[in-house]
Structure 1
Amino acid sequence: MPFHDVVGQTRAIGFLQRALATGRIAHAYLFSGPAGVGNCAAALAFAQALNCEEAAQPPTPNPQPPESPHALRLTPHDACGACRSCRNIAAGQHPDVQVIEPDGAFIKIEQIRTLEADAALVPYEAPWKVFILDSAERMTEQAANALLKTLEEPAKDTVFILLTSAVAALLPTIVSRCQSVTFTPLPHGEIETVLRRQGMEPSQARLIASLSRGSIDRALSPEVASLPATRDRLLEGIGRGLGEGPAALVELAEKLAKDRDTLQQQLEILSAWLRDLMVVKASGHTRWLVNDDRGEAIAGQAKSISLNAVLDGLRAVHAAMENITRNANPRLSMEDLLLRLRELLPSTLLSVSV
């Protein structure tokens, strides 16, 4: 995937392309940002651009604008995506480009020792050797210390790219030896556009984009097709719990809290529903709804609740999301949230039916 196929991340991609254009390639980069927002794709695109057989001439300080739509493929700004080197990198089969992933829960010392031995050798066939460490924050202490020694004495024509969603979990000495490139969550509109171009219905694309957490990988995952049904089950279940009382809500909180990743998605679904209620309550119309396939139900529910109650509900959901992100007990956070929603919302409010 060359740079021109990476969704969004204009600032990060521009930074890397300027490095290619000037020939000022750092020996180590730290790509920080949430997983799935394009950091891994950009790392592979950078590896392709460094080793592309169709863009192999030396970088120039002041590259001229391309004379044709195809001229960009002959400059150091991007890879062609079609030569043997680009195809092999995309397929994970290039001898000079390696992706190191956690072996189980961690990146282990043995993996870094193998990397060190390979990095000490000259490239097999390409101008650059590139090592991409995915989830670099999951290196063991021994692995991190071993990598630090490699970064302190980098081999010629070798680039390390560390991908992380938790910079604070890395050794400060490793961070200081890397050129930092920040990747941010993608705007929902960009993700929605990609989904619609792939043939998804506008209403479903809008819903999935809003629940993707800015991650194009998450939005394109096979599980997204079930999101509308997941939403309906979740809201109906919470609605029943609100009607049945505290004991039912405590039981529901325990059930929802079992999977932290799924829990965040469920909270985002709930947040999107309350957000739509707020929009209808404040504006009086159903345009711009995330859940526009349920616009009639939302419009009906908006008549039975005050705007302040909806806003308080949204604040409670966002507080729960923040607490869980900070490693608060998920079950207790959900208990507090559901009991608070019972004070604010009628039990019929979260029904997806009209």
Structure 2
Amino acid sequence: MVFYLSYGKRLEDDSNDLNGVLFVLDNFVRDTYPGAHLVDTFPVLDRFPDWLAWWRVEARMKHEKEMELYQRLVLEVRKKMFDSGDNLECFAARLWDQQKEMSFDLEDIAYVAGSAFEAGTDTTAGTVQWFLMAMVLYPDTMKAAQAELDSILGTDGKIPPSFSDMQQLPYCYALVKEVFRWSPAAPGGFPHYSDNDDFYKGYKINRKTMVIPCIWSMHRSEEEYPEPHRFNPDRFLCEDKPISGESLTEGHYGFGFGRRKCPGQYLGAKTIWIGLVRLLWGFNIGPEYDEAGNPLTVDPDNCTSGMTSKPINFPLQIAPRSAEHERTIRREWDVISKGML
């Protein structure tokens, strides 16, 4: 979705676009976190010539590959707009429209569009994976959400949930907020520089100090979230706030804060809501079993590290809730697939 919104085309499974995207995302997660390279800790090393500063040579190579991908994608958009006369509605097209007004050059447009796409991809995928793990570990929450869905949409599996149902699904709304809190996709947050000297719990933080807001620790605060390690959507049911796509971002710190707060937070939150609610409506999610019939262990601490985090492969089973649910899902997919052609 975020690729389509950025460039006005679908991301095909076997395309060069996908290979380039995976290269960029993998490096982004690894390289952007403070301390990923020795020069981050000892800046004096940056004075070394290239033949000693291997990280600089590697970074230059990665930059060239990023620019090759990003420039090709935005130039494709430009060609469709001005050569073919297509009326494209996407982020890159908006940037080309405003190029003169904003004094953008090709590299500016390439990186602005690419950054939007980068930020919205790995975090969304990671959040869905954390949701699947939570359903395996806390099946009662899945059953409660499915009971709520059935009470509104019926049990025949003919009508999937839509955004118009959100206010009638308070438990599903709370469950999605709990997914954001329980295992944030960016647990370390994005680094900030302190604007001024500050003191915190007896420690002085000098101006221009890099501060890493540990969202993971904030979400594990006993005072704010009792039994924080437990996945419990009920904690968000007692909120005295109207249910809306915008309020999905409140009550937790999953989208950051301050000037660096995720600019795509509302799109991201609504995307996650509709995706998770439709998964709950259409599928039963549970553990995988060994030959003796015992559920295989799922460990929430077994996850990746870096700017973003997601579970490392874990065993689970996913099956349609009924034959009618399956037919509806296949019918919906057929309609969507035809629209992609």
TM class, shorter-chain normalised? under 0.3
Q: Which fold has the larger relative contact order, with Cα–Cα distance below 8 Å and residues 6 or more apart in sequence?
A: 2
TM-score (normalised: structure 1): 0.24
